Amino acid sequence: MAAPSTRQRLLSSLDDVEIVSKELLKVLTAPTQSDDSGMDQLIQLLVQKDKEIQTTLTTAKEQGKLQRKYEALKAEVENRDQDIRQLQKSLKDVESTLSTAIYQAKAKLKAVTQANGRKISSEDLIKYAHKISASNAVAAPSTWAIGDPRRPYPTEIDMRLGILAKLGDPTISNQALQQQASFPESMNTLRPQPHLEQALNAPQPPPPQQSGLSWQHSVEMQPNNLPGHHSGLTPPTAHHPPPHFEQKHKDHEDVEIMSSDSSSSSSSDE
Amino acid sequence: MAVQRNFSINQVEADEHQKLRFQVELEFVQCLANPRYLNFLAQRGYFKEQSFINYLKYLLYWKDPDYAKYLKYPQCLHFLELLQYESFRKEIMNYQCAKFIDDQQLLHWQHYQRKRMRLLQEEADRVAAQQPASSSSGVPPTMMTE
């Protein structure tokens, strides 16, 4: 301990005063002794101790004041701390709310830019939706029962009525094919002529690299509007007919026996 | 002059060719919506040929909206996407797989109608249940609710 505390000083001074006053009383009560110098000393000591006590008391008072100030300030500091903690809490809440809001706003913006990238008029969408629904292609008709031959995909009959089946038939002339091509088919949703022109003036389907339709004319496909997304396809040669078109001939014969195949065992060469 | 005329004739022929090709590919891609047809193709080994696989990849251009708007059976695009994967091409060789897909496709096709019927039925039941409650006569409700 560095210096004795005020309380200790006060108490020790009081003890000293007690001792000195006892001595004084002893000396006073013993009249035989004429020890004046001793008594003077004691009195001076007493006075000195009294002065000490007084100073210590003033110090104690001042210290008390300081202590009160200190406690007031401490309470103030505690209040401020509490306010800061409240603010911190509310800031955290706000941060979480804002982050959710920003996340949702970003998602919305992304959706908006995505939608703007591919604009389609609502009228076109509704027309298309009507077309595919009215023909019962995507939703069953209300009168559909189990034996109904209608299906959500082109059935055998539809396939046989189409151009694909007639392609492999050598008895049908090219003229007849072209004629059939110009009439609406069961799988085509539009009137052919004006819209086909539009389709062909719009992005062209890239010339089929493997299907040169060599039994048609010897006109070479011009690859000038190729979007470049077929890597790995071999370039066309007009000399050998592509294999899968030959096999489409076989399709035509096999189409008739397709339904009976459903009961045959599957080929197990795997 | 003759050369120009020949060229224009060739151009007309090319246009006709393009039209025919467009229709042929439109028909073929929509046939892919038929799982039995896919099974048929798989059993004849078409899916093993690289040229056919390349052709399927080429047909993906039908996903573009400018082409897709001509499709009557848009489900074919889903099957086209599935066919890009070899595991699906192997699986579809199995008749059971094709039959399962067919059944699910039919059920999905009927889903909208069934849902609508159910909603209408529920509405009818609710209205019927309310009516005897609101009427002052003490006749008990006779309609069975399902």
Closest CA to B80 of B92, B68, B63, B93: B63
Cβ contacts (< 8 Å) between B52 and chain A: which residues? Answer: 243-244
Averaged pLDDT score across all residues of chain A: 72
- Put simply, the answer to whether B17 touches A138 (Cβ < 8 Å) is no
Instruction: List average pLDDT for each run of 10 residues in chain B, which is 146 residues long.
Output: 78 87 92 92 92 93 90 92 93 93 91 90 93 66 50
Give dist(CA A110, CA B116) in Å, integer. 34
Of A135, A140, A164, the CB nearest to B109: A140
Residue A81: which pLDDT band, with cuts at 50, 70 and 90? very high
pLDDT score of A40: 85
Complex prediction ipTM: 0.74
Measured in angstroms, the CA of A228 and the nearest CA of chain B are apart by 11
Nearest-angstrom CA–CA distance, A229 and A224: 14
**A98-107, A260-269, B54-63, B84-93: lowest mean pLDDT where?**
A260-269
Q: Is residue B143 part of a domain?
A: no
DSSP H stretches of helix in chain A:
6-29, 36-117, 122-134, 156-161, 163-167, 174-181, 192-201, 243-256, 258-261
Residue B131 inside a domain? The answer is no
Domain extent at residue B17: 1-122
Per-residue model confidence (pLDDT) at position A263: 40
Report the residue from B15, B34, B49 with minimal CB separation from A153.
B34
Q: Of A21-25, A64-68, A143-147, A237-241, which range is least confident?
A: A237-241
Kindly state whether residue B63 falls inside one of the protein's structural domains.
yes
Query: pLDDT tens digit string along A164-178?
Result: 888 777 776 666 666
CATH number for the domain spanning B65: value is 1.10.10.1340
Work out how many domains chain B is built from and give that number. 1
Å between A263 CA and nearest CA of chain B: 8
**CA dihedral over B55, B58, B63, B66, signed as positive or negative:** negative
Q: Which residues pair with B71 in a beta bridge?
A: A188
Q: Is the pLDDT of residue A244 over 80?
A: no
As a whole number of angstroms, the distance between CA A237 and CA A218 comes to 11
With 0.80 as the threshold, say if the pTM is over it: no
The proportion of chain A whose per-residue pLDDT surpasses 70, expressed as a percent, equals 61
Comparing alpha-carbon positions, the chain B residue that sits nearest to A126 is: B69
- pLDDT category at A230 given cuts 50, 70, 90 is very low
Å from A89 to nearest chain B CA?
Answer: 48
| Subunit contact B54:A233, Cβ cutoff 8 A | yes
Which range, A173-187, A250-264, B73-87, has the best average confidence (pLDDT)? B73-87
